[in-house]
Structure 1
């Protein structure tokens, strides 16, 4: 059978987690594009950071998934564990880029 969360609350938490990552990702992409076009100030290493964090997040997500699976976690718990590293990064990037643009814009 396919992926079935244990209950509706867990399914809702997963969807909220995915939605939050999606929204923050779009904010980060927009701010980075604005920085690349010169509309917002951007740190000179932002492009390198943008690529490197993808590798780091994927590695951390894979490790979190494996750890959850070896501990006998349910599929929804495994998925939540895999999403956490991406969520931490999108939230941190959105916060950092917003703070940097507000600080430099003042």
Structure 2
């Protein structure tokens, strides 16, 4: 195991956490009418969760079957979750506040 892998996993987890909290904040602001979000955002935020979990589980299981180390299994799974949080944050942050 790479001794720095635990630090990388920690940074990845922090990044995912920051992105997820930012997305939640923008979605809540959208519900309150303070952030410009698409009309289907409330449905989308519920529908995307099962697919993200399945993708992360598939990535972890594939890494396990390939004989990768536990840290690599975690990293593969987190990469899939991070892909979704990063995409949501980029998509919603472009829309900006809705003042009126």
Which of the five TM-score ranges fits, normalised by the shorter chain? over 0.9
Q: Select which of 79, 85, 89 maps to 2:84.
A: 89
1:11 aligns with 2:6: yes
- Scaled by the length of structure 1, the TM-score of the pair is 0.88
1:24 aligns with 2:19: yes
The aligned counterpart of 1:41 is: 36
1:50-61 alignment to 2 at 5 Å?
50-61=45-56
Shift in Å, 1:7: 3.0
Unpaired segments of 5 or more residues in structure 2?
none
1:79 aligns with 2:74: yes
Unpaired segments of 5 or more residues in structure 1?
1-5
> Within 2, Cα distance between the matches of 1:8 and 1:96?
35
Q: How many residues align?
A: 99
- Let me know the Cα RMSD of the aligned residues: 1.3
Shift in Å, 1:8: 2.5
Residue 23 of structure 2 contacts residue 88 of structure 2 at CA under 8 Å; is this kept in 1? yes
Shift in Å, 1:22: 0.4
